[in-house]
Amino acid sequence: MFKGQKVSFSGVQPSGNLTIGNYLGAIRNFKEYSEQYKTFYCVVDEHAITVRQVPADLRRRTYETLALYMACGLDPERNTLYVQSMVHEHAELAWILNCFTMFGELSRMTQFKDKSARHADNINAGLFTYPTLMAADILLYQTDVVPVGVDQVQHVELCRDIANRFNQIHPDTFTVPEAVLPKNGKKIMSLSEPEKKMSKSDENPNAVVYILDDRDTIIRKFKRAVTDSESEVRFAPDEKPGVSNLITIYSCFTGKTIEETEREFAGRGYGDFKLAVGEATADALAPVQTRYREFLADRAMLESQMKKGAMEATCYARDTLARVKKKLGFVQVR
C-alpha cells in the first residue's frame, strides 16, 4: 500500500488538558518517525466519549489537540493529521474486530478496571471495548510501529493478538504492529504522589504540569513537588520516587543524562534542584505554547487541515476495510 514504506500510527484523546507526561511520553516523539515512516496521527475523539463529555468542550479540545500536534512539530505536509470521527472506517472496523476479540481479554485490561473504579456510575460497553477500537485505529493503516506511553502497551499487545487471530483465519490481512516506547520519560509520575502516574484527570492541580501552564505556574508546581526527608539528588526510583521523577523530567527537557544530572546537583539542596527542573520545563514548553496560540487562532486553517487529513486517511483506511470485508464474505457491489 505504501510502496515498501513502513507505517507509524498514534493518537491522543481530546479530553482534559494534556500534561507533560503526554508530551514526553508520546507527542514530542511523534515527529521523529516522519523521516522513516508514513505517519498517521489522530485526534481520537471517539475514544473520549467512553466518559461523559460536555459537547462544547469536546469540540474545543479537538481543535486544541490538532493545534498542539502542529505546535509540537508535526508538519501536515509530512504527517497525516486528522480527527478520528471524520473517518468512519475506524468505527466500522472496530465492530468487525469485536467479533475477533475475547471477552476475557477485554476484562483483563488495566485501564478498564481503573476507569470503571473512577466512573462507577457509567461503566458502559464502549469503555469495555475501547481497546478493540484502538486496534481498529492501528490495523486500518497496516501499521508497523505505534509510539505510545507505557500505559498503552497492554492495548497494543491486545491489538497484536487480534491481528494474529484474524490472520490465522484469513491470512495476510493485517500487519502485526509493535509498540515503541521513548528511551526516557516513558512514564512521568505525579508531583504530589510520585508512586502514581501523572494524570490529566487528577483532582489535585499541584500534582500535574500541563503543557499549556504558564511559566510561573510551572515553577510553582515544581517547587511544591513531593520529595523526601533527605537532600541528595540521586536517581533511585524505589527509595526516592519523587526525586527520581524530577530527575527524569529534567533529563528529558535538557537532554542531559541521569548521571550528568546527579553530578550537576551534587551537594546542592532540593530547593535549587526543583527550581532548575521548573525553569527547564518552562523554557522547553515556551516555544510550543507560542506556536500553539498561533495555530489555534487560525480556525479556518485547522478546519482545512481536518478535511485534508481525513481525506488522506480515508484513502488508506477504506482499502484495508474493503479487503477485510471481502475476506469475511460481505457482499460489495460497486
What is the full per-residue pLDDT of the chain (334 aa) written as tens digits? 555 689 999 999 997 688 999 899 888 888 888 888 999 999 999 999 988 899 999 999 999 999 999 999 999 999 999 999 999 999 999 999 999 999 999 988 887 777 777 777 778 888 899 999 999 999 999 999 999 878 889 999 999 999 999 999 999 999 999 999 887 777 899 999 999 999 887 889 899 999 999 999 999 999 999 998 888 999 999 999 999 999 999 999 999 999 999 999 998 889 999 999 999 999 999 999 999 999 999 999 999 999 999 999 999 999 999 999 999 999 988 7
Contact partners, residue 106, CB within 8 Å, separation at least 6 = 112, 128, 129, 131, 132, 158
| Distances in whole angstroms, Cα of residue 70 to Cα of each of 55, 73, 264, 294, 298 | 23, 5, 34, 10, 12
DSSP code, position 81 = E
Q: Delimit the domains of the chain by residue range.
A: 6-181+299-328, 205-293
How many CA atoms, within 13 angstroms, populate the side-chain half-sphere of residue 87? 36
Specify the pTM.
0.90
User: What does the alpha-carbon distance between residue 274 and residue 271 come to, in Å, rounded to a whole number?
Assistant: 5
Q: Kind and range of the H or E element at 8?
A: strand 6-12
Instruction: Tell me which CATH code domain 205-293 carries.
Output: 1.10.240.10
Question: Which residues are part of the catalytic machinery?
Answer: 115, 197, 200
> CA triplet 288, 191, 13: central angle to 5 degrees?
50
Q: Which residue has the cell 520545563?
A: 281
Instruction: Tell me which CATH code domain 6-181+299-328 carries.
Output: 3.40.50.620
Q: Kind and range of the H or E element at 37?
A: strand 37-43
